[in-house]
Structure 1
Amino acid sequence: MFRRILIAVGLAAAAGLAAAQGAFPTKPITMVVPFPPGGLADLVGRPVAEAMGRDLGQTVVIENKGGAGGGIGMAYASKAPADGYTILMALASYSVLPEADTVLGRSQMYAYNALRPIARFTADPTVLAVRADAPWKTVKDFVEDARKRPGAINFGSSGNYGTMHVPMEILKQVANVRMTHIPYTGAGPSVTALLAGQIDAVSTGPATVLQHVKSGKLRVLAHWGNTKLESMPDVPSLKQSGYNAEYAQWSGLFVPANTPEPVVQRLRQAARFAANDAKVKDTILGAGSPVLFQDTPEFEKYVHSDVKRMADVVKKIGKVE
């Protein structure tokens, strides 16, 4: 009799746990985008959030938290309750900022192991964009002018050591030139500054500038990839132009590290749904970035490799105030 009672209690507990796990989500989810509106994380995050919401049966609300090259928003997400109701759409600056904090001799805004990778959505090389009325027709023109006028050419970014800053530092290193870095709070504000003539150039994801290229306001001189750029097939890579510089700006979904496995699996399912959704694909491709999805196991390996590679890059860049 006692044994039957124990079995019944165990079954009831298991059923209750399964029901609780299956209930996720029971309320809206917040997707933290650690940059202002208009940048790649925002351009990817909004259609993905809408599609995930359809699959989850709950609204996924975008919350833009820009600043410090994405560090403020990523730190916020890393400290959120690990219950699945706060998720993060991060960019490749995730792999850079903790190492940059170490180089600068300050406390890390977040630790790599405080966030768990769930899915990658895009992985584009950044592009070198200037205004259409700029004097440089090729990247060689741009580099030679920078060499003649050390520090005179300036470029904007989303913040120190961010995804717009690091590729320009790589180019400076391989081309042996000096340029002046002007950090903004995100890609959107830096591109706005470029359009307004306040800065000379930016390195950013194709999606951020494609509409301005099509409208004739901006010109792209080169990209940091190693294959033809799908959205701009006529633009040469830096390697093709004689500069051994390579960098990819990816976007991916993360959750706080201790998020329960059943919740992770449900979010993983919703991420796959979003990546395969025709509306999401069309929206992101229309902005200039094809969906290059990686599920959790592949994305975890990708992030681990990227973190190791970027640590070496940051050490070469050194201390930037």
Structure 2
Amino acid sequence: MSSPIWISRSSRHSGMPTQSASRRPCNRSAGWRAEMDRRQFVIGSAAAALWSHEAAAQEAFPSRAITILNAFPPGGANDLVTRPIATVLEPILKQPVVVETKAGAAGSVGAQVAANAKPDGYTLLSHNNGLAGYAEVDKLFARQPKTTRADFIPLARLSADPVLLLVNDQQPWKTLEEFIADAKKQPDKIIYSSGGFYGASHLPVAMIEHAAGIKGMRHLPTAGGGPAITAVLGNNAQMTTQTVQASLSHIKAGKLRALASYGATRSKALPDVPTMKEKGFDLEYYLWVGLFAPKGTPAAIVSTLTSAIDKAGASPQFTTAMANIGLEPSYQSAADFTKFWDEDSRRAEETIRQIGKVG
């Protein structure tokens, strides 16, 4: 027997059962809660999807080709060092690594392009000592610096070739001491060649001039390291400073004589050539090649790049490629390179100030 349905007085007037009337507020409350739950679910799902998309995008780096801007002409030291590292990086990063030449204005064109690139890890810069000197030279001439060291994040030093003080083999100087003594007595009789004002073959000469108290040697700036060596080979200049790699064949052929090395230790290729430090001068100078990212590149991307570059730099393929062009192993990871760059830049900036306005 079914239970009787009790009808209240108010229900009798309205003609509706009490149970239905009492359910109405509950249905509205439950519906409101369901709608809020649905909205929160949609919002939460959208946020989760967005987070997942961003996380996936970060984890996916690199997802396309990386370009390394070479700031100097093809065939030079930068080019010869950068291409092997790019080749070794490709299987590590699982993406193409393209070397693109952006030469001009002694490397400043490539530096400016890299500094203005989107800091997403897909545009890197291969550069050398000159990257620190641009701003200091601009200061000398009261110009607004186009780039500064702060525009770049150092990723790795790929090579560091010590510079040699070289003379024509027909000249009488057999030691650094003999050259310095003569340069002090008759500086105007000695012409030194360089690859251009404030460049990697000008600063080392200025360093030894200042350290040894030499004043008045004549400067023959040329269009690059190659022409500077040619000037000494032809006896149009008597002295220059160039790297081991650039001058070794001429030394072996008996056309150039190395009086001293600016390296911290003697070169394995030239074990009989003393260092400047052995001769009493606290001087070091290298023509180095480094990789940089634009400032603002996310730390996670920088970490991915440095890890990959470290693996490439330690690979037999890269070290063999460096040996094939006459370079001894001198790779530095980001932390060591940053410290080295700080010290090297300080020396370069100080030397530029000592040189003053020229050109």
TM-score range, shorter chain: 0.7 to 0.9
Deviation track 1:257-284 (CA, whole Å, cap 9, x = no partner) reads 1223333223212211221111211221
Which of 122, 128, 143 is equivalent to 2:159? 122
Structure 2 CA distance for aligned equivalents of residues 190 and 57 of structure 1: 41
Q: Distance in 1 between matches of 2:70 and 2:227?
A: 15
Q: Is the 8 A contact 2:134 2:148 kept in 1?
A: no
On the 8 A contact 2:169/2:254 being kept in 1, the answer is yes
3-state SS in 2 of match to 1:126: strand
Normalising by structure 1, we get a TM-score of: 0.87
SS in 1 for 2:188: coil
Distance 1:191 1:76, change over 3 A: farther
Cα gap change, 1:107 to 1:54, in 2 (>3 Å) = same
Deviates more, 1:304-313 or 1:222-231: 304-313
Q: Which moved more, 1:184-193 or 1:245-254?
A: 184-193
Q: Is the 8 A contact 1:122 1:251 kept in 2?
A: yes
The structure 2 residue matched to 1:275, chosen from 305, 313, 334, is 313
Partner of 1:207: 245
In terms of mean alpha carbon deviation, does 268-277 or 149-158 score higher?
A: 149-158
Q: Which letter does structure 1 place at the counterpart of 2:337?
A: F
The equivalent residue for 1:245 is 283
2:264 is the alignment partner of 1:226: yes
Pick one of 348, 352, 356 that aligns with 1:310.
Answer: 348
- Contact 1:32–1:77, Cα closer than 8 Å, also in 2: yes
TM-score by length of 2: 0.78
Question: In 2 relative to 1, CA 120–48 (structure 1 residues): closer, same or farther, beyond 3 Å?
Answer: same
Counterpart Cα distance in 1 of 2:169 and 2:275 = 19
Letter matched to residue 181 of structure 2? E
- Percent sequence identity is 36
How far off its partner does 1:13 sit? Answer: 2.0
Q: Which 5+ residue runs of structure 2 have no aligned equivalent?
A: 1-36
Q: 1:26 to 1:13 in 2, by over 3 A?
A: same
2: CA distance, partners of 1:48 / 1:85:
16
Partner of 2:137: 100
Q: How does 1:106-255 map to 2 (within 5 A)?
A: 106-177=143-214, 178-255=216-293
Retained in 1: the 8 A contact 2:161–2:245?
no
State the Cα deviation string for residues 119-138 of structure 1 (Å, max 9, x = none).
12233431123344444332
Is the radius of gyration larger for structure 1 or structure 2?
Answer: 2
Q: Give the deviation of 1:148 after TM superposition.
A: 3.8
Deviates more, 1:28-37 or 1:43-52: 28-37
Q: Which secondary structure does the structure 2 equivalent of 1:96 belong to?
A: helix
Q: Which has the higher contact order (CA 8 A, sep 6+)?
A: 1
- In the alignment, is the contact (CA less than 8 A) between 2:263 and 2:284 conserved in 1? yes
| 1:55 aligned partner | 92
CA distance, structure 2, for counterparts of residue 76 and residue 195 of structure 1: 36
Superposed CA RMSD in Å reads 2.7
Equivalent residue for 1:264? 302
Tell me the alpha carbon deviations over residues 233-256 of structure 1, each in whole angstroms, 9 at most, x when there is no partner: 211112323444332333211111
Please tell me whether residue 300 in structure 1 is matched to residue 341 in structure 2.
no
Residue equivalent to 2:21: none
CA distance in 1, matches of 2:94, 2:196: 36
Say how many residue pairs are matched.
321
Structure 1's unaligned 5+ residue stretches are: none
